[in-house]
């Protein structure tokens, strides 16, 4: 039986990965600042451990003997307007968690085989039409810097002989949370359409494939370092909105201009409208088979009952 410890378990990706691990029979420990909330959302986990960033010895005790550590902790980048204070929270919630986990792993006597630390497609910034694989350079905006510092913090675990993977996640498509859920209401009201001018690349991935990506990376010992997690059938935002309209049988002509988006979400608008034409080169080279490569098929699967 594999023993797995996970942070960020109650988020969209975390809860989905946890449910899959529980189904597969893993012994699952959820490390969280709110164990009572985690017990409600994920009642079938084996253990719920409370922690803070600075209690490294307690964290080490939870890590001892675990086969895999999955780090998905971090403030939701779309939860609030990007004030100076919230941008600091976005960075520190990721950086401090990762640094603490790495320190605890370093002093553990029975270290994990694998440390999976989440990252994001935002690592590449607004890269225009450049095709981006895992060797491409980072961008130069706020989210790029967050991802760069986040990944650098995780790299310290390499010296402990632990295999590290940084999953640079694209836009996860799910009706439970995220971009797809937020776009549903405008389409249902017949006012749906692309964000901005729609020319930016939209690196999407179906929720089932992001779950499978985490499990595949966990089990495939030849995978290490950065790992792009986005479907090979990448589309622009305009194309995505068109396919969404087709599936919902709604028009897709009402674009939201950048100036309006900035009024609603502030500085986050620049990152929302930044496109990344990323390809999942490592996943494909290692034989991973996507369940959903085609955007319309993915949307049909997700929206078939709506």
Alpha helices in the chain (DSSP H): 12-24, 35-41, 56-63, 84-106, 142-155, 179-188, 207-219, 237-248, 258-265, 268-272, 281-285, 295-303
Taking the complete model, does pTM exceed 0.75, yes or no? yes
201-202 and 235-236 beta bridge pairing:
antiparallel
Residues 253-276: what's their mean pLDDT?
A: 74
Q: What is the pLDDT of residue 170?
A: 96
124, 143 contact by CB (below 8 A): no
pLDDT, one tens digit per residue, over 125-172 is 998 999 999 999 999 999 999 999 999 999 999 999 999 999 999 999
Terminal Cα-to-Cα distance of the chain (whole angstroms): 39
Which H or E run includes 227? strand 225-229
d(C-alpha 276, C-alpha 128), whole Å? 7
Which domains, from first to last, does the chain contain? 3-170+207-230 (3.40.50.720)
**Percent of the chain clearing pLDDT 70 (strictly above):** 96
Residues 38-51: what's their mean pLDDT?
A: 94
Residues 257-274: what's their mean pLDDT?
A: 70
Residues 83-100: what's their mean pLDDT?
A: 94
d(C-alpha 21, C-alpha 23), whole Å? 5
DSSP annotation string for 139-208: -SSHHHHHHHHHHHHHHGGGGGT-EEEEEEE-EEE-SSSSHHHHHHHHHHTT----BTTS-SEE-EEEHH
Least confident among 3-12, 65-74, 265-274: 265-274
Residues 185-203: what's their mean pLDDT?
A: 88
Least confident among 51-60, 218-227, 263-272, 288-297: 263-272
Residue the block writes with tokens 């529980």: 22
């Amino acid at each position: 039986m594999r023993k797995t410890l996970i942070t960020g378990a109650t988020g969209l990706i975390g809860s989905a990965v946890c449910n899959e691990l529980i189904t597969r029979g893993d012994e699952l420990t959820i490390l969280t600042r709110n164990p009572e909330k985690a017990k409600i959302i994920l009642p079938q986990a084996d253990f719920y451990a409370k922690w803070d960033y600075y209690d490294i010895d307690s964290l080490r005790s939870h890590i001892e003997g675990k086969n895999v550590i999955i780090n998905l902790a971090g403030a939701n980048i779309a939860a609030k307007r990007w004030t100076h204070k919230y941008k600091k929270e976005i960075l520190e919630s990721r950086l401090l968690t990762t640094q603490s986990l790495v320190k605890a792993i370093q002093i553990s006597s029975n270290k994990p085989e694998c440390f999976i630390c989440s990252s994001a497609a935002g690592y590449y910034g607004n890269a225009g039409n450049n095709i981006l694989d895992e060797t491409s350079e980072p961008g130069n905006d706020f989210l790029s810097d967050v991802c760069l510092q986040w990944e650098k913090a995780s790299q310290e675990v390499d010296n402990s002989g632990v295999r590290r993977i940084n999953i640079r996640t694209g836009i996860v498509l799910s009706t439970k949370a995220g971009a797809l859920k937020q776009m549903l209401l405008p389409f249902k009201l017949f006012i749906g359409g692309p964000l901005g001018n729609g020319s930016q690349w939209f690196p999407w991935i179906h929720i089932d494939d992001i779950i499978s990506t985490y499990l595949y990376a966990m089990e495939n010992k030849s995978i290490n370092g950065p790992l792009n997690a986005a479907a090979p059938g990448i589309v622009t935002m305009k194309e995505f909105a068109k396919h969404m309209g087709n599936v919902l049988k709604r028009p897709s002509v009402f674009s939201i201009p950048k100036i309006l988006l900035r009024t609603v979400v502030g500085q986050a608008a620049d990152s929302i409208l930044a496109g990344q034409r990323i390809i999942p080169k490592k996943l494909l080279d290692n034989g991973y088979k996507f369940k959903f490569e085609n955007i319309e098929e993915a949307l049909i699967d997700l929206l078939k009952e709506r």
